[in-house]
Chains A and B, each alone.
Chain A
Amino acid sequence: MPYLWPPPVITGTIGGVIEAAGLTKRYGSTLAVDDLSFHVEPGRVTGFLGPNGAGKSTTMRMILGLDNPTAGDVRIKGQHYRDLNRPLRTVGALLEAAWRHPGRSARNHLRWIARSNEIPQRRVDEVLELVGLTSVAKKKAGGFSLGMLQRLGIASALLGDPEVLLFDEPVNGLDPEGIHWIRQLMQALAAEGRTVFVSSHLLSEMSQTAQDLVVIGRGKLIYQGTTEDFIDRATHQSVRVRSPQLAELREALTRQGAQVDEDDGTLTVSGMDSDAIGELAFATGATLHELSPRRGSLEEAFMQLTGEAVEYHAGDHGAAPETT
């Protein structure tokens, strides 16, 4: 078993702009979201991270009042979404870029949305300009590429000049230029003091965009805190060890409190650096064939973490010792 992650860290702050408490969504016998509590602060980009199927989109839909939670509660600035007056002026969201009528022009798509929240029609042209769709404003959205649809979705999120923005996997299917653009946009929006909550299944993407992270796996909260902290912990060091006296060495390492994982004649040791392992091997009289420190890649670490949530889910009783 890989090194265990410390139990979820929930900082004590109360009063985030988005506040979820015990949020739960059950579809038949599956728990898509399981007693999820987190908060999102203004003026920062908060990443909502988890593998596909972890419950990110379901959570986003519950924030927007589209899906009803089975239990628990989520509020925006202390209010339920459905109690917001002209909600698009408070919360803008891009959940799914494909949500448009293919026969309707980009401009008309934005026109009806603007009208529904009494947003002046000139704002439609403004956001079209902002996302660079002015030249195709009168074209039917059915012929748009994925990148153009993402831009249209962002335009509709920005229509009401909202202080809270939700983006669900906004970079999916975009080219590098588009990804760069969205990253800059989100950071600029946060710098203006807005609350930006963006989901992704890629830690590497979030590590470049988000200052804070809410990480979930199998609908459960794994981590909430700063991105920096998360990466530090996620990529902590392990050492690969091969030796003909594997069993003795393993016993010695375990006795010293290191976390050891054996796989096909190789030990992966964490909680002890290579110097200490080398000395211990010498003291034990074990010959070393390999002693290589490695820093896990972000994605690898992330998979281990979320994979662990799965193991927890299955009722693994293994204790979770602090390893850093």
Chain B
Amino acid sequence: MTLLAVERIKLFSTRSPWWCAVAALVLTTGFTALVVGNADEEFPATVASTQFGYSFGLAVIMVLAALAVTTEYRFGTIRTTFQAIPNRTAALLAKTTVVALLSLVIGEIVAFASWGLSLLLQPQADLALNSTADWINVAGVGPVYAFAAVMAVAVGILVRHSAGAISLLLIYNLAVESLVSLIPNIGDDIYEWMPFNVANKFLTGAGASNAGRAAEAGAPMSTSPLSPGWALAYFAGVALVLLGIAIASARRRDA
């Protein structure tokens, strides 16, 4: 608990988490307002469509999480941290936990704010959360943000430099996964197992939350063969393996 309190003090005594939270909220709800606000018969508002913009916030969350580590390397406070807490595993796990919890909370706020805004914009549309798929599509954004934050923390620990870590994360998130599917023959098979594609499977499942809207009029569906539950487990597993590698490396390297 002590270590969690330490990381909480550290995180909230600087401004960047607040700015990132605001940016995630504004970008995601803004995009949702455009999608839902412009809905018509061909593109009806659905529960899924209220969350089309979640990857906007996701990118911001990953920046926040990476910065939480890389600024410590940049300003040398990571050394002060390891000096105060020589058990690096414990120190880094505490940091990851705090950043992941914050991301979870931001994810829920962003998701429900997007959904609530959609209710206001399209009062007559069927946006009620009346199935598991509907609930997962909205409330699932929080866990996805949380595990994405874990990945970003891990990359931050490995790369140490803000610019390097952030560009790596964003390029991967925005380009690498979708480009993989362009590789002939094997590309699609690999893409099925790319983590953010799988995370999308967790959120959207087989498309039930998008009922009433033609698939081609929505965001592309995930090609993952996993069930939503296993999809989340897979995404979380990738994040935790990455974190394990990062912590093992931090224990060995000079601070």
Contacts and interface: CB of A to CB of B under 8 A. Distances in A.
Interaction A to B: yes
Contact of A99 (B9, B79, B86, B87): B79
Contact of A66 (B13, B77, B83): B83
Contacts of B72: 101
A81 B79 CA distance: 13
A95 interface: yes
A124 to B, nearest CB: 11
A100 interface: yes
Interface in A233-274: none
Interface string A90-132: 0001011011111111001101110111100000000000000
B154 to A, nearest CB: 21
Chain A's interface size range is: 20 to 34
A115 B5 contact: yes
Contacts of A105: 13
Given A66-B82, A117-B84, A100 B75 contact: yes
A282 B229 CA distance: 103
B80 to A, nearest CB: 6
Contacts of A65: 82-83, 86
B221 interface: no
A64 B83 contact: yes
Interface centre among A61, A98, A99, A102 (most CB of B within 10 A): A99
Chain B's interface size range is: 20 to 34
B13 A99 contact: no
Given A103-B14, A115-B6, A116-B3, A66 B84 contact: no
A206 to B, nearest CB: 24
Contacts of B75: 98-102
Contacts of B83: 64-66, 87-88, 93
Contacts of A116: 2-3, 6, 81, 84-85
A111 B9 contact: yes
Contacts of A108: 9, 13
A304 interface: no
A99 B76 CA distance: 5
Contacts of A101: 10, 13-14, 71-72, 75, 77
B79 A113 contact: no
B13 A104 contact: yes
A224 interface: no
A43 B134 CA distance: 69
Q: Which 4 A-B pairs have the closest CB atoms?
A: A99-B76, A82-B86, A108-B13, A116-B84
Interface of B: 2-3, 5-6, 9-10, 13-16, 71-72, 75-77, 79-87, 252, 254-255
